[in-house]
């Protein structure tokens, strides 16, 4: 499944649940320094494998914010 297919599926779920935006940060819920593969949703959906960043999807657009590392 490529990035566009993943976004299409995410947006289907967003429509189903009435969500206008979906935010996927880099850290896990415990703010661990080293994140287990299970929590790497940002990397999975966007393809960006850097250590820090935030992915945001809306119904029509998406974006990825990273730091300068």
Query: In this structure, what CATH number is given to the domain that contains residue 32?
Result: 3.40.350.10
Per-residue pLDDT of the chain (69 residues; tens, 9 = 90+): 999 999 999 999 999 999 999 999 988 888 888 888 888 899 999 999 888 889 999 999 999 999 876
Number of domains composing the chain? 1
Three-state secondary-structure class, residue 47? coil
Please answer whether residues 64 and 53 qualify as being in contact, where contact means their C-beta atoms are separated by less than 8 angstroms.
Answer: yes
Please answer whether residues 25 and 32 qualify as being in contact, where contact means their C-beta atoms are separated by less than 8 angstroms.
Answer: no
- For the whole model, what pTM was predicted? 0.84
Domain extent, residue 16, equals: 3-65
Please answer whether residues 51 and 40 qualify as being in contact, where contact means their C-beta atoms are separated by less than 8 angstroms.
Answer: no
Q: Rounded CA gap, 54 and 48, in Å?
A: 10
Three-state secondary-structure class, residue 9? helix
Q: Give the CA radius of gyration of the chain.
A: 12
């Amino acid at each position: 499944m490529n990035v566009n297919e993943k976004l299409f599926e995410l947006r289907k779920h967003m429509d189903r649940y009435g969500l206008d935006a979906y935010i996927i940060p880099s850290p896990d819920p415990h703010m661990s320094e080293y994140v287990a593969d299970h929590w790497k949703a940002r990397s999975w959906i966007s393809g960006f494998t850097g250590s820090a960043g935030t992915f945001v999807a809306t119904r029509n657009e998406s974006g990825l914010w990273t730091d300068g590392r």
